[in-house]
A and B are shown apart, each in its own frame.
Chain A
Amino acid sequence: MSCSLLSCATEPDRLFEMSDYQGPRARWCPGCGDHGILTANQRLLADEQLKPETTVYVSGIGCSSRFPHYMKTYGFHGIHGRALPLATGVKLSRPDLDVFVVMGDGDCCSIGAGHWIHAIRYNVDMTVMLLDNNIYGLTKNQTSPTTPQGYASNTQPDGSYLPALNPLVTTLGVANASFVAQTADWVPGHLFATLKAAHRHQGFAFVRILQRCPIWTPDIFQEAVMDPAKTELLVHDDGIRDPDTEEAYTTHTWHDPADIHDGRRLASEPGTVRLGLFFRNEAQPRYDVTRRIPLQTAEEKIAHLERELDRHAV
């Protein structure tokens, strides 16, 4: 059947500017890293000239998950930890939509961890951002799975008891991962370049964004922010390139994103903050392709059902 309703009709040139994607003023704390991530997204959408009406931001619950409210696209601010199933449903049902997902570290790596693992495996085409401030922000300073060991919070005042979960290593450990990158809210050029690569990736593009929370974790990223020499950039011709960032951040490591083993090694080495593309493979199977909902007219469906009833006729 023809799918004219579902396909985006091309119209006389509409030119979108960043302001076309800007919703109401964001209500995050001043200095919150989420502001910069929001701007990077708006810049990306303008750069890619995405139609606001066919773009959907899906989120869970948390400071970071307020994100869709501040965009002028479609948004679905869901429930804590469950952004990924919602986004999967949106994309399965409407492949014509451009789907972005925003989650916090509690959202994605704790309550939503099960969905996270499986969404990586489904490899449905979407751009997935983990806004990782190493803390529960909205609920006021509780330890998250990514809180560094020993770091104090309201629930673990003597410091987090356990080694932090590493979202990159976790993602890279799941079968069928297809795009794994890390960037930081305070490196706007790299952030933008990473989001662009993620958006262009056909599949589940997972981007962990190190995100400053000046309220609860002001010191966690302080060193990395102040001293670019402490940050290592993964560079490669097939990787994420941003000349300005490469000029400011001079510690470079040549890493071929096709090499998952090296990607895992680089992701798991403690100490160094590494930004860049750890792994990409667009050849991984995509659930939204293999499981595309067949399009049939009402009449076709009814005809099928008549045959089904024949099979059950007495």
Chain B
Amino acid sequence: MNTNPPAATGSGLPASAASASPEVHTFHRHIVEVVSDSGEGAQKCGQSFGLVSARMGNGAWTVEIIPAEIQPPPRTPGSASGVRIRIGSEPVTNWGDEADLIVAFNEQVLLARHRLGALKRGATILLESMWETHEDADIRRAWDEAMRELADGDYHFVLVPMEEQTLTITENPQRGKNMFILGLLSAIHLRDLDIVRDQIRKTFAKKAPEVAESNIKLMELGAAWAEQNVGFRIDVPCKKPDKAMVVMNGNQAIGMGAMASGMDLCAMYPITPATSVSHYLSDVFETSGGIVHQAEDEIAAIGVAIGASYAGKVAFTVTSGPGMALKTEFIGLAIMTETPLVIVDVQRGGPSTGLPTKVEQSDLLAALFGQPGDAPKVVMAPATIEECFHCMVSARQIAESLRGVVIVLTDANLATGVQPFPRPELDPHWQAHLPDLGPIPKDRKPFSWDEQTGLSKRIVPGQPDGMHTTTGLAHDEASTVTYAPDVNMRANAMRSRKLAVFQQTLRPPPVYGGDEGDLLVVGWGSTKGAIEEAVDRAREQGLAVSSTHLTFLSPMQPGLKDIFRRFSRVMTVEINYSDQPGDPFITPENRRYGQLCLLLRAQTLVDIDCWTRVPGEPLRPGQILEVMRAKLATDGKETA
């Protein structure tokens, strides 16, 4: 191994020892990864780097790299924990393709990223040097083996004595390396160190002031080391945004959106990757008019939420796939009793316990059809962190005005992804009203369904003359139990009609790219950024490719068929399972399609194709671009 590695690399960065004026390379998009053994703080380092970049005016998107266990054995590929930070001169909407530069605390976690194909050929690698000459022969051997395996990546190594350096000012390098690295990265990327210092103070705001100051010293040490030893700099030009921006992850945005909506009860049971919504809310909700109720299980959580909603408010519950499964029966009750309710499902890989920390979009059909009986409800999917915030405000309003259930589908990618977005201009009108406790006029019934719309005004406990029993049994307008055929058919129609009425208020989804062309890609949820970036690249290459992204999955936005008709090929791109044409036994007749694809085919009778994958990580724009090219190579017009 050589601390002065060869110069020529894929990203063209000479990593030689510093000269007086380091070479500055300018990129408009750039991907950095920081990986360590779990518990060494790579995430804090990477997130801080992302926040600093956002504050300097770069577009930024960060994605967590999370191991399955809390403390997996150190120095193993399975222990890789960290963050990918993609920064750009323009807003960044997704995690991109391969990393350009990676900082690794040991060669094993680096190997994990290499094996996953996460690193660009010729990428720059800043690697802890201590393992190469470690006193333990096994470690030295592991290092040598790893280096042989890594050789085919043509990487460009800079060996950094992270531990040795950190030990010069702290006793526990385990706790200090990450800030040293933050300094190193900041210097290399020409970050404003005053902003970095300020960010560290913010990060440690809840600790004693000495903690922040000692971390700042470590950061400065890293920056100084880079000044003396790293011969290149990376500039990702930034401009201060012209409007106020905030930065957070999707789960924080869900929590804040819930507060903005005026909901005051979040009932939940811990489950990855949804839990951090409740961590965030537990921290701030109670001083701002709400509580988090950690129930004994997901069933109880939704039960408490329904009870609270029934009593006159709109409550919400947050969960992920396995928890959704448990809530099924109660979702049916909320729909049957027309009790407003918001459910957030932060999707992870399934079925069963599946991939707890990883992204998937596999709960769509379960959300729509998971309840026995006909259970119409609104299902919506935010596509960005910003939408995570705003959709909670809409969800509460929709649930209230339709007297129904709204399921918000986010996913692990949105949950932990961090992105700056324009600061919401809060409006007190977003907030729920206190329940009306006025008396009920004689002719008003608990379900005085409007024949046209199916809508009715709810009556809540406390309203004189409104007494009745809400029931999950079939009931008439007075909420009296009856199994009369005509009443049951009417009640089903009324509950369903509300969706049709709501659909009339929706607009067709915008088409990204051109209004017509050879290929339309349809997506939903967190894949939007990657799909649109792929569309941009395709169009730069002269391909007539567009995309459209659905926010509402139930009811579906209007105008879809008209949009589809303008393209000779339509396909969905999703993170869920579908059979590949050409796989053993797979025929057009038995092929199982992606979940949105199946819905769109049923709804529009258009022969829509799909490309879906379940890699447990977000899709890459480059990958989607390849799929587009492949699709364009097929016969068109099959959809028209």
Contact = CB atoms under 8 A, between A and B. Distances in A.
Contacts of A5: 434-437
A259 interface: no
Interface in A78-120: 78-79, 82, 84-94, 96-97, 114-115, 117-118
Contacts of A294: 286-291
A58 to B, nearest CB: 7
A68 B329 CA distance: 20
B308 A90 contact: yes
B315 A93 contact: yes
A25 interface: no
Closest 9 CB pairs of A and B: A89-B307, A85-B303, A75-B469, A304-B288, A93-B308, A296-B289, A298-B431, A89-B304, A86-B307
Interface centre among B267, B308, B329, B436 (most CB of A within 10 A): B308
Interface stretch (B255-263, B399-407, B621-629): B255-263
Given A94-B462, A298-B262, A76 B470 contact: yes
A71 to B, nearest CB: 8
A304 B54 contact: no
Interface stretch (B82-90, B135-143, B239-247): B239-247
B62 to A, nearest CB: 13
Given A78-B472, A296-B288, A86 B310 contact: yes
Contacts of A53: 461-467
B288 to A, nearest CB: 3
Given A79-B330, A82-B303, A74 B467 contact: yes
B265 A293 contact: yes
A190 interface: no
A86 B306 contact: yes
Contacts of A84: 300, 303
A72 interface: yes
Nearest to B466: A53
A314 B55 contact: yes
A127 B286 CA distance: 27
21 contacts: A5-B435, A53-B462, A56-B311, A56-B461, A75-B467, A77-B471, A82-B329, A85-B307, A89-B311, A92-B308, A93-B315, A94-B461, A94-B462, A117-B296, A298-B431, A301-B259, A301-B262, A304-B287, A308-B256, A312-B252, A313-B247
A79 B481 CA distance: 15
Interface string A288-307: 00010111101111101110
Q: Please classify how large the interface on chain B is, using the bins under 10, 10 to 19, 20 to 34, 35 or more.
A: 35 or more
A314 B304 contact: no
A38 B571 CA distance: 60
A52 B439 CA distance: 12
Given A115-B296, A115-B299, 6 more contacts: A6-B437, A75-B469, A77-B472, A82-B299, A86-B303, A88-B303
A305 B55 contact: no
B13 to A, nearest CB: 28
Contact of A312 (B247, B262, B267, B427): B247
Contacts of B608: none
Nearest to A23: B469
A98 B265 CA distance: 20
A231 to B, nearest CB: 34
A293 B290 contact: yes
A131 B424 CA distance: 52
B454 to A, nearest CB: 22
B475 to A, nearest CB: 10
A52 to B, nearest CB: 5
B262 A79 contact: no
A313 B246 contact: yes
Q: Please classify how large the interface on chain A is, using the bins under 10, 10 to 19, 20 to 34, 35 or more.
A: 35 or more
A92 B469 contact: no
A226 interface: no
Interface centre among A82, A89, A93, A294 (most CB of B within 10 A): A89
Contacts of A115: 296, 299-300, 303
Nearest to B297: A114
Contacts of A299: 428
A73 interface: yes
Contact of A76 (B286, B310, B463): B310
A93 B311 contact: yes
A24 B478 CA distance: 13
Nearest to A81: B299
Given A82-B303, A93-B315, A301 B431 contact: yes
B121 interface: no
B248 interface: yes
A69 B446 CA distance: 14
A94 B466 CA distance: 17
B96 to A, nearest CB: 20
A56 B428 CA distance: 31
B310 A89 contact: yes
B423 A309 contact: yes
B470 A77 contact: yes
A155 interface: no
B311 A90 contact: yes
A54 interface: yes
A308 B469 contact: no
Nearest to A307: B288
A89 B428 contact: no
Contact of B295 (A23, A72, A85, A87): A85
Contacts of B306: 86, 89
B333 interface: yes
A69 B482 CA distance: 12
B364 interface: no
Nearest to A24: B480
Interface centre among A71, A75, A96, A298 (most CB of B within 10 A): A298
A313 B469 contact: no
Given A53-B462, A312-B248, A305 B307 contact: no
Nearest to A299: B428
Contacts of B499: none
Contacts of A57: 469
Contacts of B311: 56, 89-90, 93-94, 97
A93 B312 contact: yes
Contacts of B333: 78-79
A178 to B, nearest CB: 18
Nearest to A59: B469
Contacts of B77: none
Given A76-B310, A93-B312, A305 B260 contact: yes
Contacts of B295: 85, 118
Contacts of B289: 293-296, 300-301, 304
Interface centre among A24, A53, A97, A304 (most CB of B within 10 A): A53
B293 interface: yes
Contacts of A73: 467
Contact of A89 (B260, B297, B315): B315
B63 to A, nearest CB: 18
Given A79-B330, A309-B246, A90 B310 contact: yes
Contacts of A24: 480
Contacts of B461: 53-54, 56, 74, 90, 94, 97
A114 B256 contact: no
Interface in B425-454: 426-429, 431, 434-437
Nearest to B301: A85
Interface centre among B286, B289, B290 (most CB of A within 10 A): B289
Nearest to A6: B434
B366 interface: no
A93 B259 contact: no
Contacts of A96: 462
A30 B429 CA distance: 54
Contacts of A97: 311, 461-462
Interface in A47-66: 51-54, 56-58, 61
Contacts of B539: none
A117 B303 CA distance: 15
Contacts of B480: 24
Given A114-B296, A298-B431, A93 B256 contact: no
Interface in B297-334: 297, 299-313, 315, 329-330, 333
